[in-house]
Structure 1
Amino acid sequence: MWGLFSFLRAECLNKNLYVGTPIVWIPGRWKQWHERGSIGWKIVSRQIQKTIQKIGNKTNKVISWIYRPEQLHCVGLAKEDFTVYECYDEYSLSHIDGTFRPEVEDEENKLLEKADLVFTASHALFESRKKKHSNVHYAPNGVDFKLFNQAALDNLPVANDLKKIPLPRIGFIGNLCGRIDFNLLEKIALHNKKWSVVLMGPVEREVEKDLNSLQQQGNVHYLGYKPREILPQYLKGFDVCILPFKRHGWNEHSNPLKLWEYLSAGKPVVSTPIKEIETLQEVIWLAKDHEEFISALSKALHEVKERQTASGIEIARKHSWDDLTCNMFETVKKCLDEQRT
């Protein structure tokens, strides 16, 4: 039996980068392999270990990199030498309304006990996690600066489907989910019918009705999901970019990835309050309520200075993924070196 499940399907994306998909066929509950020590868990563990032996080097350290408390069951699958937990959001709170989720906090506490190193995407997450772990490091979100900075260049054309939408265009690109304040978006659309509100990205089932209702406004345009490589052509045609998040703990502990893409593109940005970006008020607008948000939009549409745009671009340049990932890997290397001594 074990021979049938010795290796997972591993696709080589680069000379030292593989993506593997475990083969799990067990009658019963499909999540059965999530239970540590179960038959399914052992099968997946064996596949991972055998594949690592096949593609790796015996002298290499095996590192498990975990992103969510719900992945606690993944710890130990590879018989890893080192475990990294990258805490990206405040998972103990609901992303929809910020309510406390004690079961997730319990899972995260167990994960923190097993982790050798913890990275956090925001300072707020860093402050809370350092109370629970002795080796926590701040590792903010970054941006593919070279890609998104194309939107700031004169020779990049605006996407054809966006060209058809009247100016001025107020744009959001990202996951349309329970984090988004659809009441705010509706107020923006109703405030000025000459403003075009443009939304792009995948839609979670939890907000499908909200989006359908919002699109009843004639000046709201949903353009669907677009490949990442062509997003600069859409950012190029936006007059202002927005981060219209609900005000609750999940969002206030976040480090919005889209902010760095917007700034790289040289765009004015209006956002609801987020602790991580409070220091950037020289280059963005923060609004504590709906009325302030609409007022900030009016200012962003008419009062943008070239110096403000240039400053935003330079701040985003410092958040290049190339630089940030190098810093993270250096931290991992240092921790591994200390582990050897």
Structure 2
Amino acid sequence: MLSDQTFVCLTPERWNGLWRNRHQLLTRFARHNRVLWVEPRPYLSEALHSMRARRLEADHTLAWPRPQHVQDGLFVYRDPLWLPLSGRPPLRQITAWGRGLALRAAVRQIGGGQAPILWLFRPDQGDVIGQCGEQMVIYHAVDEYAAYEMEFQADQAANRPGRVQALEQIILRRADLVLVTSAPLLAAKQAWQPNTHLVPNGVDFAEFAAALAHPQEPAALAAVPHPRLGFVGAINEKVDLRLLSALAAANRAWQIVLVGPVTLRYNLDDLAELRAQPNVHFVGALPVTQVPHAIAACDVCLMPYRINAWTHHISPLKLYEYLAIGRPIVSTAIPAVADMAPLVGMAPDAAAFPGQVELALRQAPDEAAAAARRQFAAGQTWDARVERISDLIVATLTGRPVNEKGD
């Protein structure tokens, strides 16, 4: 296991937000290393709005930024509002210089004598390469971001064709190591960076096993009758809201439980229709410690994804969490579950989804099937993923051949 290194990680979300694979991986690396969790950088419009409204958060003031120690080995850092991202020269160059200066100072403050490892998660973060004197650059792709741009921002994309793809190609060429979470992403990124490797998402199996052994039903679910069809995760543009509305209408006895924040920017009419269904329950985000208990409190777990170029490339975190609890799973026909039968029931289209749910409910008492799901999940732990990434980092730094067993 890699140790005594400093990681500078530009994350797409706040530390105290919905837990994703970044939280799972970086908290584990922080046990033996120093991790600087760099929160999303402010844009000029955001900075101006906050200043005009005088809405400066306690940790995002006009003061010189300092990393906050949140747990052993892990520090959270935010760029100051007065150094925003801007596309306007000369402000762009001035603020970029200032952000680099502040970032290098933050790296020095958390300690460690050697050059850091820079870890990027988004195509628009390439401007940071070279700013902190890093010894290597990791790019970690968990989505096909260009597909999102074309699916939901076609009007902007028409004015800047391939902008996201162009930004990502720059990072792919400059990165020393590229990590991806799905086979379609591996095929897409290896063409630009040969040192690209598949590291799927994982699960904290021990935590989920404990929730199954000692269930504590979240209070938000207590009044919801059974059978419960549960979805855990952000309700965003990946989710097929029309499918869920049709599922709710197919059988009013089925209670659809949605655990997670609503982050939609598009398809708001579909969201309104779903909210109007009497047997659909929007629980909202739960603390990460309650998520295993929420899944255990459901009878069937849902993966109702839309079928498009974006979801073609995903590796749903919830897949491994559902499997760890052992409940039957019903998914739309995304590549991530194409080879998962009989562990996952797959509906070839939206019309077939209710039938798959009926089948899953009939199979719910099958303890042998539940044990098979849990056994599979037991081999997909975050600790194993961290060991794999650690091996890839060491191989990249030393120039030795990579063991391809994980690809």
Report if the CA contact (8 A) 1:151-1:266 is conserved: no
69, 73, 97: which one aligns with 1:12? 69
Task: Say which of 160, 173, 190 aligns to 2:219.
Answer: 160
Where do residues 151-300 of structure 1 align in structure 2 (5 Å cutoff)?
151-153=211-213, 155-206=214-265, 207-300=267-360
Contact 2:245 2:273 in 1 (8 A): no
Q: Distance in 1 between matches of 2:72 and 2:221?
A: 39
The match for 2:121 is: 67
State the secondary structure of the residue aligned to 2:76.
strand
Query: What is the CA–CA distance in structure 1 between the aligned matches of 2:168 and 2:363, rounded to whole Å?
Result: 45
- In structure 2, the residue matched to 1:41 is 96
More moved, 329-338 vs 185-194: 329-338
In the TM superposition, what whole-angstrom CA distance separates every residue of 1:289-320 from its partner, at most 9, and x where no partner exists? 11221111000000242222111111111111
**Amino acid in the other structure paired with 1:195:** W
Q: How far apart in 2 are the matches of 1:14 and 1:161? A: 29
Distance 1:149 1:264 in 2: 7
- CA-to-partner distance for each residue in 1:2-57, whole Å, 9 max, x for gaps? xxx9963111234432222222425xxx4228989711111111111123233333
Q: Partner letter of residue 21 of structure 1?
A: R
The TM-score, its normalising length taken from structure 2, stands at 0.76
**1:57 and 2:116 are equivalent in the alignment:** no
* TM-score, normalised by the number of residues in structure 1: 0.90
Matched residue type, 1:191: A
**Match of 2:146, SS?**
coil
Considering only aligned residues, what root-mean-square deviation do their CA atoms show, in Å? 2.3
1:132-151 maps to which residues of 2 (within 5 A)?
Answer: 132-151=192-211
| Contact map agreement 1:198 1:220 (CA 8 A) in 2 | yes
Aligned pairs (5 A) from 1:89-128: 89-94=143-148, 97=151, 102-128=162-188
> Structure 1 33/8 Cα, relative in aligned 2: closer, same or farther at 3 Å?
farther
8 Å CA contact retained: 1:69, 1:107 = yes
User: What secondary structure does 2:68 align onto?
Assistant: strand
Gaps of 5+ in 2: 1-61, 401-407
SS of residue matched to 1:89: coil
Q: Relative to 1, partners in 2 of residues 1:209 and 1:224: Cα closer, same or farther, differing over 3 Å?
A: farther
Q: 1:227 to 1:133 in 2, by over 3 A?
A: same
Cα contact 2:149–2:164 (8 A) shared by 1 = no
Question: Of residues 121, 130, 133 in structure 2, which corresponds to 1:79?
Answer: 133
Q: Post-superposition, which runs of at least 4 consecutive aligned residues in structure 1 deviate over 6 A?
A: 33-37, 98-101
The count of aligned residue pairs is: 330
Match of 2:58 in 1: none
3-state secondary structure, aligned to 1:32: coil
1:338 is displaced (CA, Å) by: 1.7
Is the deviation greater in 229-238 or in 187-196?
229-238
Q: Could you list the runs of 5+ residues in structure 1 that have no partner in the other structure?
A: none
Distance 1:270 1:53 in 2: 48
Structure 1 residue 177 displacement after superposition: 0.9
Identity of aligned residues (%): 29
The code of the aligned residue for 1:224 comes to G
Distance 1:172 1:137 in 2: 29
Give the C-alpha shift of residue 230 in structure 1.
1.0
